[in-house]
A = this chain, B = another copy of it.
């Protein structure tokens, strides 16, 4: 059984981030490698990767050194959805059973193990991983019979009308690809759900599809703030690992599970609380505090900076900042006193404008999302849920209240009056002040 991993989507919903989702690093490894390893831990070593024209090269480079694994690549020329991706890869997939996986989902290898187990002990046409949920989630619910056979897939039923507590997650084993492809090629839809409609039509026609309940950790990555959730997902598995090549002051504090890579320097008084990750070559300055965060390579987290539950790319510079619940790509730098607000004064859920739509992020703590190569001036304030496009400047002393597009420069309009000043300090005053202090 091979895994077909769909990495071909173009992440408009990840704006303003510029890096391909599959290549984002978590705990020091690109997401795609984590996903490949997840399958391999279940004994699978045969893969088809469906990439897009942008990410095919780096993906091939990334995976080229993997051993004892067979990987074929397909390129989906245009981002036309799952059905299109599958059909254009049909000949590569062939007639053998395969597991279709979306690279937007994170899960443990148990999902594979369960599918394989069911497939070996039953005789259904397809097996669908069904996430068992505790509270309402706007996804595709599975209506199932007592033997777990699926009767229907119901997309986003109103709250209270869910047919079960089982959500469809795209980790699907198809025993007979030819049947699937034949249905796929004859299903029509105006929206992006041809694949799901295909499964429905197969069920209607009597093919048997089984729901395989899954209860381990799961996380989707659609929007930028999901990077923080994904970071948390991988944080569960972080074990303390400090490179012998790192130079860590004995007056620094490393607390909890922290990975510190080669050539990192941690100065006196710095505090790193796990689960956290510090990439190669980065510098954590005096008294800086990092908690529940991932810091990339070549970063400088300077004096008096707190980075709290944030995902920081490579080559970023901070000093005297508070960065909370934020996602910051490579090569950004922050002037002293620049702050990301991560909590609304009214404590309500934070929304964010992505690709023209205002999206409820589901988080009451969320800072900024900043594309690569940005510069943030001193004493600037960035409001919760704001996005800043790549290669943009936020000038000094600005309160950034709206998203800033790629390649823009926001400059302060703030003015001041100039008046004469008749006051002047005397020697006495200086001595007075000093005496007061010395007391």
Report if A377 contacts B (CB, 8 A): yes
In the complex, which residues 375-420 of chain A have their Cβ closer than 8 Å to any Cβ of chain B?
375, 377-381, 383, 391-393, 395-401, 404, 407-420
- Tell whether A423 is near chain B: CB-to-CB under 8 Å: yes
Are A378 and B337 closer than 8 Å at their CB atoms? no
CB-CB < 8 A to A315: which residues of B? 430, 433-434
Measured CB to CB, the nearest residue on chain B to A348 is: B423
- In the complex, are the beta carbons of B300 and A437 less than 8 A apart? yes
Chain A contributes a number of interface residues (CB within 8 A of B) equal to 76
Residues of B within 8 A of A380 (CB): 379
Residues of B within 8 Å of A325, CB to CB, are none
A311 at the interface (CB under 8 A from B): no
Stretch at the interface among A117-125, A169-177, A281-289: A281-289
Number of this chain's copies in the complex: 3
**Contacts of A397 on B, CB cut-off 8 Å?**
381, 399
CB pair B271–A391 under 8 Å, yes or no, is no
| CB-CB nearest in chain B for A419 | B409
User: Are B306 and A306 within 8 A (Cβ)?
Assistant: no
The segment out of A205-213, A224-232, A316-324 that lies at the interface is A316-324
Residue A268 at the chain B interface, CB threshold 8 Å: yes
With an 8 A cutoff between CB atoms, is A97 at the interface?
A: no
Q: Which of A57-65, A71-79, A184-192, A338-346 contacts B (4 or more CB under 8 A)?
A: A338-346
Contact status B429-A347, CB under 8 Å: yes
Task: Check A377 against B345 for contact (C-beta < 8 Å).
Answer: yes
Question: A372 to chain B: which residues have CB within 8 Å?
Answer: 425
**B-facing residues in A322-359 (Cβ within 8 Å):** 322, 324, 331, 335-337, 339, 341, 343, 345-347
Given contacts A317-B433, A409-B418, 14 further A-B pairs with CB under 8 A are: A300-B437, A306-B320, A335-B341, A337-B337, A339-B379, A345-B375, A345-B377, A347-B429, A372-B425, A373-B424, A379-B381, A391-B425, A398-B416, A412-B414
